[in-house]
Chains A and B, each alone.
Chain A
């Protein structure tokens, strides 16, 4: 029973990993921007949920109505006015990659600094839906179940969007080859901006959900950026279901390792899996070709 519950816990955590990686996959996989300030959107979403609840007694889920559009527009502006000029300036992809990393690294410090000044550095947290639910005899917290459900729903929705719609076809073409894409009349800059902004919006959702069960502070963003990066690389850049699957594998491996071997090993398991994937399938577990 304890074993089953450990696996279930792992699945729930894995869903959260998948969720935070989905947005990065849109930003890096489709818009081709390595955004090191990615996690700052999560931090913003978490703080929004926190302040809405503590200041105005507004339900954290309702705060999504505010944080998601703001994150979408904010990320769109960043892409349009901060990152697009780099594309024009860069001589080649390597230069562009280095430039984006530098710019978004700077952005990370700006966001973190502003948050630190505005909201102080202390840890925040609130209790929301921290009620036990029983799944096949095991007990889990409702807030974690909610995050998991949202992750699966978003991953499936993105998968469907990419596979079955006109927009999705264009986004996939951009992900594979932006040069070829523009020569079949796809408006690459506009759709890349859209993908980048949507990635930010997903991160705001993740931030809201994560804040329901994990405490956070102004400097938490980078932790989630790194986690997302690991999951994206494991699952395959641009692959949404792969991303979710990689998140689940990580979550379950951590939980099982903690239960069967030693809880202190979860981080080691995490990186061992990551290295293994890099060595055996550097293109990601779920990538073709």
Chain B
């Protein structure tokens, strides 16, 4: 311990004296990466399966391979994770990210879980110039924040380009005479639900399809049947529900009970979850959903097996996507060849990254061509829109009756 301190002191003295050759020889023992994720409280379930488990799996995968290769030191350096629980409290998450940077002096910090927490901690990342690729965040605000927060990258589909393909799809089907083009929208009264619905209404206006119903319901609602009945009475041929897991399950089950089965049926977060599969079995076939991954992406099958081996449970697209962002980070570090956060940031901003989820490129720090719409086809969630992406499959229309 003491020897190391002396060595360190010596190294920095030499470095200060302008002897970079000596410093280069001193490769770090590990790359220290910290994060604060909700392991208790209401965010814990989502954070654990989508975010925390991916961080753990990635670190194991990297270290099993010997570490991340740093050109500058000409060797692989393993990862050391420092983790905190933000207890689902946003102020706590902010404090912990700051603590990781200032007290623990970690090399890199991974983002937390959830739109609100990501947006709230982003200023801390930017203030200390720590690059972060935020995955579990979708909000219109990120479009305006790009220039102000140069170190933040947004990998998920955002509300506007998440809904534009849906409106375009309806317009196209209407033109082909396959639907009358009557659209019903339900959404959870939460930021994501509201923004998706607003963006959807705008997109429908532009695409000239009629919105016959657009109402919200509160988070934690215990019955949606009256609302579904109201929607049913309007005889829409496309139904979009921008929902969270509990209401995704509820709206799907209750639509089945009352026999509401329009040819286009879309639900939000939770639709690709293993529990959804368990609950609805073959009835899930043809349901459209929020986001997707490229099922043909190289390495995805192996990843699913490693995930199963480590956690003994299935994956959902969110976990694949999160793992993808960790691969981006790893590739950017290897490209730079050292832990230089400014250079890593620039590498992420300008590169194109092949991952197990998607091919990522960032323009204005947002992944503009993110997967917007997926669909259950058989036992697989396939990517549908944007239709020009690699791995995109044609839309299954109409959705089979329940």
A–B proximity contact (CB within 8 A) = yes
**A258/B249 in contact, CB under 8 A:** no
Chain A residue at minimum C-beta to C-beta distance from B254: A141
A122-B313, A264-B215 known; A217+B226 contact, CB < 8 A: no
B interface, size bucket? 35 or more
**A214/B222 in contact, CB under 8 A:** yes
Asked if A287 is at the interface of the complex by the 8 Å CB criterion, the answer is no
B222 / chain A contacts, CB cutoff of 8 Å: 13, 16-17, 214, 254
Asked if A64 is at the interface of the complex by the 8 Å CB criterion, the answer is no
What are the interface flags for A110-132 relative to B under an 8 Å C-beta threshold, 1 for contact and 0 otherwise?
00110010001111111100111
Asked if B172 is at the interface of the complex by the 8 Å CB criterion, the answer is no
**A125/B216 in contact, CB under 8 A:** no
Secondary structure of the B side of the interface? helix
B230 / chain A contacts, CB cutoff of 8 Å: 2, 259
Contact of B311 among A116, A120, A259, A266 (CB under 8 A): A120
A255 / chain B contacts, CB cutoff of 8 Å: 223, 226
Chain B residue at minimum C-beta to C-beta distance from A16: B222
State how many angstroms separate the Cβ of A109 from the closest Cβ of chain B: 7
Contact of B45 among A12, A122, A127, A259 (CB under 8 A): A122
Asked if B46 is at the interface of the complex by the 8 Å CB criterion, the answer is yes
Chain B residue at minimum C-beta to C-beta distance from A132: B257
C-alpha spacing A109/B87, complex, angstroms: 11
A interface, size bucket? 35 or more
State how many angstroms separate the Cβ of A55 from the closest Cβ of chain B: 12
State how many angstroms separate the Cβ of B54 from the closest Cβ of chain A: 13
A144 / chain B contacts, CB cutoff of 8 Å: 223
**B45/A123 in contact, CB under 8 A:** yes
B217 / chain A contacts, CB cutoff of 8 Å: 258, 263-264, 266
**A2/B218 in contact, CB under 8 A:** no
A87 / chain B contacts, CB cutoff of 8 Å: none
B311 / chain A contacts, CB cutoff of 8 Å: 120
State how many angstroms separate the Cβ of A285 from the closest Cβ of chain B: 21
State how many angstroms separate the Cβ of A12 from the closest Cβ of chain B: 7
B245 / chain A contacts, CB cutoff of 8 Å: 123, 215
State how many angstroms separate the Cβ of B281 from the closest Cβ of chain A: 8
Contacts A/B (CB < 8 Å), 8 sampled: A6-B229, A10-B223, A122-B274, A126-B279, A132-B257, A141-B254, A214-B222, A214-B246
Using a CB–CB cutoff of 8 Å, the interface residues on chain B facing chain A are 39-42, 44-49, 186, 189, 215-223, 225-227, 229-230, 233, 245-246, 249-250, 253-254, 256-259, 270, 273-276, 278-281, 311, 313
Using a CB–CB cutoff of 8 Å, the interface residues on chain A facing chain B are 2, 5-6, 9-10, 12-13, 16-17, 54, 109, 112-113, 116, 120-127, 130-132, 139-141, 144, 213-219, 222-223, 251, 254-255, 258-259, 262-268
A sample of 17 more A-B contacts (CB under 8 A), given A122-B275, A125-B249, A218-B45, is A9-B226, A120-B45, A120-B313, A121-B49, A123-B45, A125-B279, A130-B256, A132-B258, A140-B225, A141-B225, A214-B222, A254-B222, A259-B226, A263-B186, A263-B217, A263-B226, A267-B221
